[in-house]
């Protein structure tokens, strides 16, 4: 069959369409196109022109649009709702009154059950393509129903330990008033749904959460940690797992394998402190910063900023302490707090070495909640040995600390100190981020933090360039250092440099 370029069906990677979509070719034409290999039939009346991609990938990409057409009154329920609509073990669970049999699609079975009597679908949360997702109170009530898995298929509802961990994740971001409101809404809903027998289990679950009933030995790990004061941010720990794996496997032939540390004198720690503070907005002329270090006195006009320069310098100039690392999470936590205390020694109002009490953010990006800081750091530090020592582990450490943002202030500086400790520990060049490179560095960190897929290429490329620049600088000679700072445009203001097209150059 010869195909015209104007044949009426959607084309493109992972596109789908139904045989009754407006303007689509006739049924006989579609059947002939399937036989000739120009189309693929995914299910009754459902087609794709993408005959190269895995059919399961095509369905996954369009699952909500497909459900909107095939089960338009669907509400995502049970385990699927608790897992934020993810397909688990190849199954998605929905409630519907418009279908009574399993919908089988490539890569997923959509298993159905009726809507509970008396519940208004409009009360559930909106979901893409006009579908609905169970609200939290309903997720809680629905998942208290017992169920059993079949073979490799997970059970329809969560186990009690899984449900406890789901509650713990919700409670991690709620104040007590909201937690109690969730409990009360669930109890009210259980009565309305005619499943009052679940109220006892609901009440017991929240009593365990409050510490009013003991934890059984098979309680959920996150739930137990939250009750005992050691919970963590699961989304961040998942990110750290991906980050550690990505840095370990990252393949870049241009990435130096080893840049040995050169001779050590005051120039490298001075400019490491100077530039690290500049990134955070503490701006001095080089001569002013030198005067602060030489006199060990902050200027009277800017005492707080002067203390920042002094504290950071003392931390990075410590020839022994600057290279201390550990693969023991508790010891690494101690080093982190000790270094932060050193950096902010002159700023007692900012709590040197103390975890933050109020969450911090950068624009709309919120960092880890205060009560989850220590648990999240410990989980992140447990992954450190899995990353090869040197440059890759240094980047992991810096990104992990930065993403938690465990302190009220000084997080960027202490994250870079932790990064450089990993390099010093294996006698490799530390990384300095000069003034002109600030925007590239901040942009790379933000893009990595915001990316769920964690495409590390840009991040590694930016950091490896700064690493090569640092390694090439003549830090053992003051005059040569100052000359190369000018020659490489290292001291150029980043915004002015961006306007003028000025880039950091290698010496």
pLDDT of 449 reads 83
pLDDT in tens, 464-473: 999 999 999 9
Task: Tell whether 106 is covered by a domain.
Answer: no
Q: How far apart are CA 278 and CA 275, in angstroms?
A: 5
Statement to judge: residues 400 and 451 lie in one domain: yes
Same domain for 336 and 188: no
Long-range contact pairs involving 98-103 (C-beta distance under 8 Å, separation at least 24): 98/71, 98/72, 98/73, 99/70, 99/71, 103/43, 103/70, 103/71
Tell me whether strands 132-133 and 75-76 are parallel, antiparallel or unpaired: parallel
Instruction: Determine contact, residues 171/163, Cβ cutoff 8 Å.
Output: no
Low-confidence ranges of the chain (pLDDT < 50): 1-5
Whether 423 and 462 map to the same domain: the answer is yes
On whether residue 95 sits in a domain, the answer given is no
The pTM (predicted TM-score) of the whole model is 0.77
Write out the residue range of the structural domain in which residue 403 sits. Answer: 235-353+363-500
Residue 91 pairs with which residues in a beta bridge?
Answer: 88, 109
Q: State which of 231, 257, 282 marks the end of a domain.
A: 231
Residue 456 shares a structural domain with residue 335: yes
Q: What pLDDT score was predicted for residue 2?
A: 47
Residue 341's alpha-carbon distances to 177, 271, 351, 409, in angstroms, are 35, 20, 8, 11
Contact between residue 361 and residue 403 where contact means Cβ atoms under 8 Å apart = no
Q: What is the CATH number of the domain that holds 268?
A: 1.10.3290.10
What does DSSP assign to residue 49? S
Assess whether 203 and 331 both reside in one domain: no
149: in domain: no
Residues 348 and 277 in one domain: yes
Has residue 92 been placed in a domain? Answer: no
Q: Are 91 and 150 in contact (CB under 8 A)?
A: no
* Statement to judge: residues 407 and 481 lie in one domain: yes
CA-to-CA distance for 161 and 218, rounded, in angstroms? 7
Q: Give the span between the Cα atoms of 138 and 189, in whole angstroms.
A: 7
Beta strand ranges found along 310-407 (DSSP E): 361-362, 365-366
Where among 206, 231, 256 does a domain terminate?
A: 231
Domain boundary among 205, 231, 257: 231
- For residue 286, give both structure tokens: 């080089």
> Do residues 330 and 381 both lie within one domain?
yes
**In terms of domains, do 252 and 368 share one?**
yes
Q: 83 in a domain, yes or no?
A: no
Same domain for 346 and 443, yes or no, is yes
Whether 122 is in a domain gets the answer no
- Examine the domain organization and report whether 171 and 47 are in the same domain: no
**What is the tally of structural domains in the chain?**
3
Are 285 and 316 in contact by the 8 Å Cβ rule? The answer is no
Residues 60, 251: Cα–Cα separation, whole Å: 29
* Same domain membership, residue 267 and residue 329: yes
Query: Of 349, 459, 347, whose CA–CA distance to 402 is shortest?
Result: 459
């Amino acid at each position: 069959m010869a195909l015209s370029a104007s044949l009426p069906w959607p084309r493109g990677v992972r596109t789908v369409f139904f045989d009754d979509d407006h303007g689509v070719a006739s049924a006989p034409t579609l059947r002939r196109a399937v036989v000739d290999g120009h189309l693929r039939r995914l299910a009754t009346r459902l087609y794709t022109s993408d005959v190269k991609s895995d059919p399961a990938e095509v369905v996954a990409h369009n699952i909500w649009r497909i459900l909107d057409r095939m089960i338009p009154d669907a509400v995502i329920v049970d385990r699927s709702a608790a897992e934020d609509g993810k397909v688990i073990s190849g199954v998605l669970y929905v409630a519907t009154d418009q279908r009574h049999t399993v919908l089988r699609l490539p890569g997923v079975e959509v298993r159905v059950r009726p809507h509970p009597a008396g519940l208004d679908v409009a009360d559930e949360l909106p979901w893409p393509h006009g579908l609905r997702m169970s609200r939290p109170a309903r997720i809680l009530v629905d998942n208290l129903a017992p169920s059993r898995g079949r073979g490799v298929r997970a059970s329809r509802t969560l186990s009690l330990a899984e449900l406890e961990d789901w509650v713990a994740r919700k409670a991690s971001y709620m104040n007590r008033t909201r937690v109690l409101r969730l409990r009360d809404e669930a109890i009210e809903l259980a009565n309305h749904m005619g499943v009052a027998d679940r109220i006892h289990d609901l009440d017991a679950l929240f009593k365990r959460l409050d510490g009013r009933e003991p934890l059984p030995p098979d309680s959920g790990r996150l739930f137990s940690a939250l009750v005992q004061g050691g919970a963590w941010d699961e989304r961040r720990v998942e990110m750290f797992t991906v980050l550690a794996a990505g840095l370990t496997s990252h393949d870049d032939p241009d990435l130096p394998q080893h840049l040995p540390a050169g001779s050590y004198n005051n120039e490298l720690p001075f400019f490491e402190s100077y530039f690290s503070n500049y990134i955070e907005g503490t701006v001095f002329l080089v001569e002013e910063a030198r005067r602060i270090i030489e006199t060990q006195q902050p200027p009277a006009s800017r005492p707080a900023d002067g203390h920042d320069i002094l504290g950071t310098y003392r931390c990075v100039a410590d020839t022994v302490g600057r290279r201390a690392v550990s693969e023991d999470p508790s010891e690494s936590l101690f080093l982190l707090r000790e270094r932060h205390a050193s950096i902010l020694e002159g700023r007692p109002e900012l709590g040197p070495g103390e975890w933050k009490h109020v969450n911090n953010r950068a624009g709309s990006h919120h960092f880890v909640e205060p009560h989850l800081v220590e648990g999240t750091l410990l989980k992140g530090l447990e992954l450190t040995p899995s990353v090869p020592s040197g440059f890759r582990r240094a980047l992991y450490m810096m990104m992990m600390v930065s993403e938690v943002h465990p302190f009220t202030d000084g997080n960027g500086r202490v994250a870079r100190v932790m990064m450089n400790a990993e390099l010093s520990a294996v006698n490799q060049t530390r990384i300095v981020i000069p003034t002109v490179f600030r925007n590239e560095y901040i942009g790379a960190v933000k893009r990595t933090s915001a990316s769920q897929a964690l495409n590390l290429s840009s991040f590694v490329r930016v950091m490896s360039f700064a690493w090569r620049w640092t390694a090439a600088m003549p830090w053992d000679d003051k005059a040569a250092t100052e000359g190369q700072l000018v020659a490489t445009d290292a001291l150029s203001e980043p915004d002015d440099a961006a306007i003028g097209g000025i880039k950091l150059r290698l010496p």
